[in-house]
Chain A
């Protein structure tokens, strides 16, 4: 059974004129990497899986659940999809502390979690990611690696059914990138969570990918498979 089953058509208008995205792939890999240069349409693809951008047509199925089906008129909201999303520059809420950011989704309603409100689920992730020392600091006061871990914890606290990561290591220096990559791999293996990661860094592909989809110019490049064949490997 394939975990990722996507067919996306989208006409995008940007500063550089029109861009036609037409991406279709299927994969049974738990760790799938979307690889390609910037401007290939990777981020847009991820946004359509998350439900932030609506495709013009096609379908999105993840781990057996249909998120979007143009023909059937189905379009789940991002809230209904329950997919964790780690944004490229992490998009941490600048007015909330690290702990409040992580506890954000645990509290429903119209008020943000207060600084000292009990949130055992948030504290568990703070401990797991060694964020205890910076828990009461604001995002701009902490290091890049800590920000990345905070963004990851904030997404995982919702117990998502899949995790999407947009260039999660691009903002970090080489040594840190290496370490956090290993951490992510361990985490994925222990949680057994479907993971879709986009990158332009071949090392991410080498270390993390069970399957690779090569994207360029808004299309899947089937003849340009990298190091591993883009088949239904497990």
Chain B
């Protein structure tokens, strides 16, 4: 069972990092899309949403092309810094971040679109700078919707399998996350381990979804 706890700890670490990265990336992109029109917006929107609909193995393949030892970024990192990303838990974080990104992006964008620009205008006439407006007006008013998106992203990152397996592999204790450990246990005929892993995964996912469900209703704030 020790292996199961190691896998759980690793999975939580990977999902935690992926969620934290998406807090910055997804919220930033969601805000940009809710406030500004720019050329190529629709195409970029589709590209950013793609990880939600594409098979994770396809994403994993793209990632290999980019961060693999022969990949564009991967070769550069290896040559200049001696960093080998592939088959590390950091590679699992990258895979999970990309797969879960659209969930935060979509939620943040919808939440920011619900914030009346008039409040931001009011803050402007009161002399507040743009960063202050974002942190003191837009973000607090969109926060519940963003939080719900972050929880969904966390759950999605917990269950990531395909892309993670391709770029991080399945090294027990290093890159073997819960979902991959389940697969390995079943393949090896270790039914007890598989049962235990499945129970743990289901409970964690259920807990996340229940908290997300509580945050979504009553998101709209009364106007004042």
Q: Which residues of A are in contact with B by a Cβ distance under 8 Å?
A: 47, 50-52, 77-79, 81-85, 87, 89-95, 104-105, 108-112, 138-140, 147, 154-155, 158
Contacts and interface: CB of A to CB of B under 8 A. Distances in A.
Contacts of B136: 104, 110-112
Interface of B: 116, 118-119, 121-129, 131-132, 135-137, 140-141, 221-224
B224 A78 contact: no
B122 A91 contact: yes
9 contacts: A50-B121, A52-B125, A78-B125, A87-B121, A91-B119, A104-B128, A112-B140, A139-B224, A140-B222
B122 A93 contact: yes
A95 B221 contact: yes
A52 B121 contact: yes
B222 A79 contact: no
Q: Which 10 A-B pairs have the closest CB atoms?
A: A139-B224, A140-B222, A105-B126, A92-B224, A78-B124, A85-B125, A91-B122, A94-B221, A94-B224, A110-B135
Nearest to A80: B127
Nearest to A151: B122
Contact of B223 (A81, A94, A108, A154): A94
A81 B128 CA distance: 12
Contacts of B137: 93
A104 B123 contact: yes
Contact of A85 (B122, B222, B223, B224): B122
A68 to B, nearest CB: 15
Contact of A140 (B118, B129, B224): B224
A158 B127 contact: yes
A137 to B, nearest CB: 10
Contacts of B132: 108-110
A82 B127 contact: yes
Nearest to A50: B125
A85 B58 CA distance: 53
Contacts of A92: 224
Contacts of A79: 124-125, 127-129
A30 to B, nearest CB: 20
A95 B219 CA distance: 12
Contacts of B126: 104-105, 154-155, 158
Q: Which of B123, B125, B126, B141 has the most CB of A within 10 A?
A: B125
A94 B141 contact: yes
A90 to B, nearest CB: 7
A155 B124 CA distance: 11
Given A94-B224, A139-B222, A140-B224, 17 more contacts: A47-B121, A52-B124, A78-B125, A79-B125, A87-B118, A90-B224, A91-B118, A91-B122, A92-B224, A93-B119, A104-B136, A105-B126, A109-B132, A110-B136, A112-B140, A139-B224, A154-B126
B76 to A, nearest CB: 36
B141 A95 contact: yes
A89 B121 contact: no
Nearest to A78: B124
B122 A110 contact: no
A155 B222 CA distance: 21
A95 B121 CA distance: 16
Contact of A87 (B122, B131, B141): B122
B224 A77 contact: no
A92 B126 CA distance: 12
B135 A89 contact: no
A92 to B, nearest CB: 4
B132 to A, nearest CB: 6
Contacts of A50: 121, 125
